[in-house]
Structure 1
Amino acid sequence: MDDIMNNIVTKTLKPGGKLPSENVLVEKYRVPRMTVRNALTILEERGYIYSEQGKGRYLREESIQIQLHLTGKTSFTDKMKRLGYDLKTRNIYCEKINYDAKTYQLLKANEDENVYKIGRMRLINDEPIAIHNSFVSETRFPRIVKDGTEIESMFAYYRQLGYKEFTSNKSLLSVTFPTSYEQQILSCGSMVPLIVVESDCIDVHSNNVLEHTKILYRSDKFKYDITMD
């Protein structure tokens, strides 16, 4: 598996190219067929190769690399449009969450308040690349139950309500692996790491926290520019 990965990194294997058959790999590495099959299965789960029934295994085409500034002053939609990407957004849910001490504390919400999670799927060139989750308090946004299922850009929604400038206190970055639901909607395997970016959105004028944001990015679709604006 390490040798095949090295061939992928050094481009000895070309994107879109067909991999040698299992029989050829068994002979080349002098290992049992099961060892070869296990290695190929892991590479497929990690998103490097794919199978076609009756034809064999192929190296995936090179991923779209997206430059992304990890700051909270500009909306994701505005950033992608400014960079010229063909971005589409689909609202996928607006649902009330169970009490979560961390989220409620970040939103400065009381335990008896309702907090809703609005999820949007982001696609570039019709390919799913990220899930954006925004957590907002119903107390601050009383129409969120009605409006939530139609929101594609939270910043645009806030501007409609009179908010003009936004900032954030900090951004946290971590890594996780997708749940079965996330695998389905992101069209990725279980072993493709997701980059998790958590931040808040603050109204500059009032200094009130408008939302807590948790974004799941496919790690194979982005390069990350973390330069501060």
Structure 2
Amino acid sequence: SEFLRVVSFTDDMQKQRYNVYSKVLKFEVVSPKKEVAKSLKINVNDKVFRLNRIRFANDIPMAIQDSYIIYGYCPTLSDYDFSTESLYRTLENVFNLKLSYANNILEARLTTKEEIKVFNIKKPIPVFILNQTTFLETGKPIEFVRSIHRSDKYKFFNIAVGREIKK
């Protein structure tokens, strides 16, 4: 995945010619937990959509994503089927929201018992945990997402541009 452009899982996998779909585990309106509210710069009493999905590429479970989207930007988001639709394409094309940039924190750890089941694997493997806050053109956050990617099937790549010259 590229860090300098906001790339959706769907776009990333389709570019590699994978058939992409999701299993939606939860899609609900909730009050955000502290960490989510802080990332989105909102109050814990505000409303967010929580979209929890298992992401598949060619029938292989590749990632578990837990997305929190500020309700006020897209109050009819629950009308859409995110087992087949791309969240980012829907935000951009239906709600006319311009996703401009994202802050990413990448960590690594071993799979939990639950993740071993979801990924349909026999024993623990390393996973990448990506915590991302996605921002609009206005500089306001719209989404916080925690993605758990299996390291045996998913590669992150980063394009770095230039360097700040210190004098």
Selected match of 1:129 from 62, 67, 77: 62
Structure that is richer in strand per residue: 2
Q: Identify the residue that residue 146 of structure 2 maps to in structure 1.
A: 214
Higher-Rg structure is 1
Instruction: Give the TM-score normalised by the residue count of structure 2.
Output: 0.79
Q: Which runs of 4+ in 1 moved over 4 A?
A: 96-99
Structure 2 equivalent of residue 147 of structure 1: 79
1:164 aligned partner: 98
What amino acid maps onto 1:137 in structure 2?
Answer: I
Structure 1, gaps ≥5 residues long: 1-67
Tell me by how many angstroms 1:99 deviates.
4.5
Q: What CA distance in whole angstroms lies between the structure 1 residues aligned with 2:129 and 2:149?
A: 6
Give the helix-richer structure, 1 or 2: 1
Aligned twin of 1:43? none
**Paired position in structure 1 for 2:156:** 224
In structure 2, what residue type is equivalent to 1:226? N
Give the corresponding residue for 1:81.
Answer: 14
Alpha-carbon spacing, 1:77–1:99, altered in 2? closer, same or farther (3 Å): closer
Give the letter aligned to residue 144 of structure 2: H
Which SS does the other structure have where 1:158 is aligned? helix
In structure 2, what is the Cα distance between the partners aligned to 1:77 and 1:84? 10
The verdict on how the C-alpha distance between 1:116 and 1:163 changes in structure 2, with shifts beyond 3 A counting, is closer
DSSP 3-state at the match of 2:98 = coil
TM-score, normalised by the number of residues in structure 1: 0.60
Distance (Å, rounded) in 2 between the aligned partners of 1:189 and 1:166: 39
Structure 2, unaligned runs of 5 or more: 162-167
Deviation, 1:71, is 4.5
Note the C-alpha offset of 1:105.
Answer: 1.1
**Distance in 1, Cα, partners of 2:134 & 2:121:** 29
One-letter code aligned to 2:100: F
CA displacement at 1:102 relative to structure 2: 1.7
CA contact (8 A) 2:31 2:45 kept: no
